Structure 1
Amino acid sequence: MSNINRITGLSGFDVDGTIQKLMKAENAKVDKVKQDRQIIQWQQDLYREQISNINTFSSTYFDVTKDTYILSPNTFSVSSVTGSDTTGKINATATSAARTGTYNMTVNNVAKGANISGKTVNVEQGGAIGFSIVVDSNNKTFQIDGSTVTLDEGNYSNLSQMAAALNTKMGSVAVGSGKLSDNAVAVVSGDGKNIQFNKKIKIDTTNNTMTLNVDGKSYNAILPNGNYSTSDIAGMINGQLSNLKSSDGSNTPFPSGVVLQSTDGQNITFINKSDNTAHAGSVSMAAVPAVTVTSGGSNTGVTGTKLNFGTNSFGYDKQIITGKNDTFTIGGTTITLAQKDYTSSGTSDADITTDLITQINTQLTAASATVSARAALDGSNAIQLVSTTSAQIGLSGSAASTLGFASGSQLAQSQSDSINNLLSGSADFTINGVEFKYDFSRAADPSDSTTGIIGAKGRSVSSIMSEISTKANVNIGYSELTRNFTIASRNTGADKNFIAKDNSGAFMSTLFGAGTVDTAAATPPAGITTQKAVDGSFTITEPGGAATTVTEALNNFSIDGVTYKIDPSAANGATSTLNVAQNVDGTLNKIKDFVNKYNDLIGKINAKIDEKRQYSYKPLSDDEKKSLKDSGQEDKITELEGKAKEGLLKNDLSLENMASQMRTAFYDTVKDAGINLYDIGLSTSDDTTQRGKIVIDEDKLKQALQTDSDKISKLFTQKSTSQPYYSPVMSNSDRAKRYSEEGIFQRISDIVQDNVRMSRDAQGNKGLLIQKAGVQGDITDTNGLLPKELQEKDDLIKQLNDKLSDKEDQYYKQFSAMEQALEKLNSQSSWLAQQLGGGQ
């Protein structure tokens, strides 16, 4: 309705009342759509109520974490087992085949698997050796384009840190009306060896169009106003290249794969992105002058790092300076490096690494430390620290960053570290009869499948271990707690011993400490611990029988209807007395409880399917509700709406199909169960109004439990052998096969999942009822069938209300014009009357 304030009735005509009468028919159209929407809303509420009932039933009986979980075969065991084992290491369950009475169990020894535990392996590889830059009073002052910039004294770990500090300082140096940072910027050169100062160009409306001349075409790029280096300008233009068209009218796109770069701070050039080769072209930009930079101090390199200045850049000497970057503490041992200028001696990176390692090891050996240093195995000239213990070892000191380590870190091998921290070159080894060939010096290559040699450079320790575990059917891994590698068989039993050996290379000897380890050998190699795989030995005395010793490969085994479960940590000689007794009533009650809850669920579904629709009752309109409230009849609203809700799900196909499938699930044959519902005293009610509810003959069921509990367990809980797990994406043939092989309660669980699961199938759909009614807080609350219908009604109501407002405005305009005409006519009549009266 319109919100315009109006003044009507000036002519004496009841405009508002007349328009309300005229709009009544129009409003009826909106009320009809609102009624339709309310019916859909009630249907959604009723569906969600059924979904809630189904979910409650499902969570009670199909949730494996609940005590009421019904799908375990043990649920239907009529034999209960109690025991006197106070350690809790010996447990058992029994089927109806077990004799009642007392069982005695003695653990002679548990079954064990084979395993190997190697020597300590704890390697920490540092990053690239990078000498810190020591800034003090001798080298902290710079002259940059004639302006003085002074850095704070201290150690700068790398050029990037120093460049950032210089840019900050330049931002506080006044030049004319601006700052020095408006005219220049410090960056690390492309080769990473120098700090380079690039001129900044002022871009405004007079020079913000850059013309690019490439491949015989010209392209115009527009830059925003500001101060930019040539590198900044190249980057901004690169961001526009995909949208640039030639300016000659042909609209030729900018050449694909060509980009701009600036490496010297003065020129912008073009390159082919694929291989970084030069590409001919030019940029219409005035020549950019070089920034001049010189030292403002003595720059002797005695107490502060010596800086080497070029025209617009400077590098630095690789120096160890006493008291500045010369100490490194490993655990409790402090290493002091000799003051030395590696730059002036002209040594290579490899020479520097060798010299530093020599100094470190000399002092570690003198201190009898459990750590040593060595060159990285990957040829990177980095330093590795190797510990022979699992103890935590801290790394700190002024030389830490120089050596490639973070001060305050730990010497700690990790599963995520590169395998190249430990191995290089080729290795051929065999574990559990499976041969492996790796080349740790090269990356994986398509030819690996042909040669059989797997390139593994750069891969993590965990990925290599996982690969070996899968192929060799063992568990091989690294413990970050004990700092060693282990290999373990995946099962117990005397036949699970294995040999791990190097055929060539040093995989086993490096990671475990010996080239060959046989878990069946009487004595393992020095420094290595092994566990021999053995069968378990158990002495069992059954009721009325003699003690019998059995040998088992597993610690869980079944004999004469009793399943024994022995904890692998059970001590030799551990004993237990187990009492097996029948508990038919407990199992009977579980089945009764399930059937009662099932009947209750079916009853609620059937009640809505069978409920008669009250077509004479409709949702109340807003005016009708207001009228009843004003007359104090709120209870009448509830009564009338209750009638209108009845039968909204009558003969609903979705609910009817679900109820029908659940009824059928009880009576279709379960393959290989050897028994059916009738045999155990379950049947359908003779009362046709009950529509599939299950009736129990308790005496017959109790007798069946006493004699055939194993078959009853299969009838209800048997899992499909061909399709053991529910999946919404199974083919129809797989689904049919699973259905025929699984027990009744398994089928009911599947039917529940089909209708209310929250996981998606191949088409992206959730359960059938979920897709129809939607779930609050889930995407189905907007894209479900009924939510979409509700939205359509909301959109239609808005459209109709907009039309109503327009219609009402139209009526008011028409009546306003009529009132104005009447007022004018009244004025004319009054004037005429006056004229006629004046003439008498």
Structure 2
Amino acid sequence: MRVSGLASGMDIDSIVKDMMKAQKMPLDKLKQQKQILEWQRDDYRSMNTLLLGFRSELLNMKMTSQYRVRMVSSSDESKLTATASNAASQGTHTISKVTQLAAAEVLLNKDSIKAKDKEIDINKSLYNQNSLFAVQSDSVWKDGAILSKNVTTKTATDMVDLGTDAKINYNELKSMSIKVDGTQFKVVTQAELDARDEGFQNLQNDEVLVDPDKGTLKFGKTLNENSSVKVNYIANERTDKLSLGKSNTKWTLNQGSIKEDSISFVLKKKVGDIEEKPSKTYIVTGDKIVAKGDSEELGTINLETGEVTFNSNIPSSDEKTVYSLEATYKHKYTTFDIDTTTSTGDKHESFLIGGNDSLSTVMSTVNNSSVGVNMFYDDHTGQMSLTRKETGDFNKNGNEIKTTGNFINKTLRFGQGTVSVSAQNAEFTINGLKTERSSNTFEVSGVSFTLKAKFDDSVTIGITNDSTKVYDNIKKFVDDYNTMISKIQDKVNEKRNNDYKPLTDDQKESLSDKQQDKWEEIAKTGLLRNDNLLNSALSGMRNDFYGTVVNSSIPDGYNQLSKIGITTTANYLEGGKLEINEAKLKKAIEENPDAIEQLFRGENGIAQKLTDTVNKSMDMLKAKAGNSASTNQTFVIGRDLDGIDKRVDTFEDRMKDLEDRYYRQFTAMEQAIQKANSQSNYLYSFFSNGN
């Protein structure tokens, strides 16, 4: 209980505060010392960051690409061009007698797919434009449903279960598209396996056995855990479901081109958890959706697009009653296959096309598939083509592109198409050797050649080192070094202003935020002035640059930077910055690029020496100041900070005890004064009464 001047009239709080100020001066000094250590720690870490950035440049200077920058020239770029990697040797290559260029097979369909005087819109439904095609066949379009399922394997397995509800159409198994992580598998049936020769009845790695009754897929190899299995297949029909609410005025089914007599709607009602039976069934008459057995209309449907428009008779769900509508139907679909022969083997893919898909969708699907072809349609002639994306002849015994299916062979007229461009390899002579390649761009010994035309004469490719680029790489390295040591040198030479100490809490109260920032900016300067660690790092790096590189692969005229035109500046105040004699360095690079490479990145080279010095300096700085992931006990300044924190805690406990003692003394004084006043008042009243 503190009594503050009630009897004496003194401002006890102010008196105690003033008395404590003098006692707290050592505490303020401890806190200032702590702040200085924290600033020093941050300065050391910023220097370490500079060294880390320079070390990244050193890693670049250890790479051959910094010195082996190949420059390529061609004696006739209209016929042959080339590029070279840093692995290419300097010298020349000669190519002659290019008798043929590599070509990709182009399969051209028989004729226009358009009927006479008709135009096909490639962005509209194929089935709804069936009458616009030159060749129409009842066998092209079938009734059923294209469905898909995606499964992710939970463990490594060769078996995937789609479930019996998949309702796979047994007659359309070969049309299934089954991909695992984007790779297509060939579908086989049990009958096909049984028909194979004894001993060859096992599934191959690229095959999958389908059991439509069980809805299972057995693969010829074990799939990895978390494999993505995507399956597109044909079912007899599909069912779309919709929960009905107040906002339901339209509903678009997943497929258009619907067979009119196949579609039906079932309206279901559920009160709580109990489903009301019987459900109400609707059928389609013309474009109207009417109740089976009476004339009630639910709305209309566009069979081409699958869009349903409801009328006011559609019920709406509420909190107690839920209405749902199920549409079961068949739509038009067709299938086709494309097989190709590629540099990586035979490719096969099955395509499932819905009646409401467009020609544009078909082309995009084919072009993005794994069979490696581009499908193209020319709306002027109405003709189409399939072009292999890859040049070269990989099937010496036949065509590289094969098509199967009535849609692609009849409707798109590829069945009797002709190969307008045959697949072939490029044939030529290089450095006196006759050879061939599947592509017009090929690599030999680090040089990538591109044939542009056939020719009989010789074209020469020259490979030389790009001295200008090598010079630029070295100059950038020197500039980065100069920038780094300039920043370190500035920190080492920065003057300390001893008149500016870190602000105490009381001092901060008397200054604005702007004044505090200005004060601290000055107080932070010079904390690493003449620092031994940084001076040691600078000295070590200077010695690395000045020293002679001992390496048997380097001639004497190239074993020091000064001998190739890199020296320190004349101004000693710059702390050993480097400058380049451009003419001398470029001449050295042109005359002996291998020696320049060895000087920097070879055994005992400058890059290695600097790396060792930088690593050693960074380790010392980390031991002194740590990094953002370090705990205080792992570096010197951190341990000092912990020591100061303990001293601060101890001192603050002492100050609290001292302050309590001061208040107890003043409280005792107040109580004594109060008692004396009370006695005085008593005596005064006693004598007054006596008179």
Higher share of residues assigned strand: 2
Which structure is higher in RCO with an 8 Å CA cutoff and minimum separation 6?
2
Q: TM-score, normalised by structure 2?
A: 0.49
